[in-house]
A = this chain, B = another copy of it.
Amino acid sequence: MAVYTDITENDLRNFLSEYDVGELTSYKGIAEGVENSNFLLHTTKDPLILTLYEKRVDAGDLPFFLGLMQHLAQKGLNCPLPLPRHDGKICGELSGRPAALISFLEGMWLRKPEAQHCHAVGVALAQMHLAARDFSITRRNALSVNGWQELWAKAAPRADEVLPGLQQEIGAELDYLVSHWPQDLPQGVIHADLFQDNVFFLSDRLSGLIDFYFACNDLLAYDVSICLNAWCFQPDGAYNFAKGSALLAGYQSVRPLNADEIAALPVLCRGSALRFFLTRLYDWLTTPEGALVVKKDPIEYLRKSRFHRAIEAASEYGLEPAA
């Protein structure tokens, strides 16, 4: 949950005077997003989201993030739209932080998604990949192989505190990924964090994608592998073949994976499982006890990493042969 910065009514009124929005009638800090402070605003017109970018977000990346949301919304994708100020900018400042006013997307994220929802996620992910093809700004993925190595260098010496043997196991897995990471797959803008809380539904219909603050340029099929990890495992850790199959079929109904992407899917899944394992491990080891953040258990992603190491072909994830 995230409200790191409170705002006073006067500062907010000044900030809103730069926009063409209705009269403010309420603002509440909401428990969404872990990197930024988010407020839900009611006005005499539409509800809005106000985001204050805290220091974990590099202000230099905001033109990419906000521009991407604007680009995708203009292409017809359902995602939050940053509102322009009177001076045309889509980012201002509030309480000493960069701040943006963003359209409110109705919908709810699913705590218990089913296969049909996974299909819709695959469709939306592929639509996003296509819609972003002509987006002009680029952003390197700081959390790809090099980033994993940097994180691991910091976490490795204490890894066995979490689970004995972890230092050796993860070291070997990282070595494997460094030497087998695919280079020549189709690239583009990926969401890179399309977890359940970032996809909204209205009575079983996908109503939008949110939280583009990890978006970057990388392998498109890597984004698919992130979704397989995020959406297609049961709470008990077992892979759900029906969900995986639905997610992949949904994706391929919009953007078919090519043969190289299909062949690379197991190693991509190993990579994304390791990526979330490493950030969670790092946070687990470094987040001070008093912090206002719920630490996520890294072991969930260790289990997923081990699962993917035993996979030999994409068909084991439920990928149907192309029609």
Q: Which residues of A does B touch, CB under 8 Å?
A: 1, 3, 6-10, 23-32, 40, 42, 47, 104-108, 110-112, 200, 202-203, 289-290, 292, 294
Copies in the assembly, this chain:
2
- Give the complex CA separation of A105 and B25 in angstroms: 9
CB distance from A116 to the nearest CB of B (A): 14
- Give the complex CA separation of A203 and B22 in angstroms: 13
CB nearest to A7 among chain B residues: B111
Indicate if the CB atoms of B107 and A31 lie closer than 8 Å: no
CB distance from A49 to the nearest CB of B (A): 10
- Give the complex CA separation of A24 and B111 in angstroms: 16
Indicate if the CB atoms of A30 and B27 lie closer than 8 Å: no
- Give the complex CA separation of A292 and B26 in angstroms: 24
CB distance from A194 to the nearest CB of B (A): 18
Indicate if the CB atoms of B40 and A30 lie closer than 8 Å: yes
Which of A105, A202, A292 is most buried by chain B, counting CB atoms within 10 A of its CB?
Answer: A292
Interface of A is mostly: loop
Contacts of A32 in B (CB 8 A): 28-29
Which of A8, A28, A290 is most buried by chain B, counting CB atoms within 10 A of its CB?
Answer: A28
Indicate if the CB atoms of A108 and B30 lie closer than 8 Å: no
Beyond known contacts A25-B202, A27-B108: 17 more, CB 8 A cutoff:
A1-B1, A1-B3, A1-B31, A1-B292, A6-B111, A7-B111, A9-B108, A9-B110, A9-B111, A25-B106, A26-B104, A28-B31, A29-B30, A30-B31, A289-B290, A292-B292, A292-B294
- Give the complex CA separation of A203 and B31 in angstroms: 26
20 contacts between A and B (CB under 8 A): A1-B1, A1-B3, A1-B29, A6-B111, A9-B110, A9-B111, A9-B112, A10-B112, A25-B106, A25-B107, A25-B108, A25-B202, A26-B106, A26-B200, A28-B30, A29-B30, A30-B30, A31-B31, A40-B40, A289-B289
- Give the complex CA separation of A158 and B11 in angstroms: 40
Which of A9, A40, A106 is most buried by chain B, counting CB atoms within 10 A of its CB?
Answer: A9
CB nearest to A10 among chain B residues: B112
- Give the complex CA separation of A161 and B283 in angstroms: 31
CB distance from A258 to the nearest CB of B (A): 36
Known: A110-B9, A289-B289, A289-B290. A28 touches B3 (CB 8 A): no
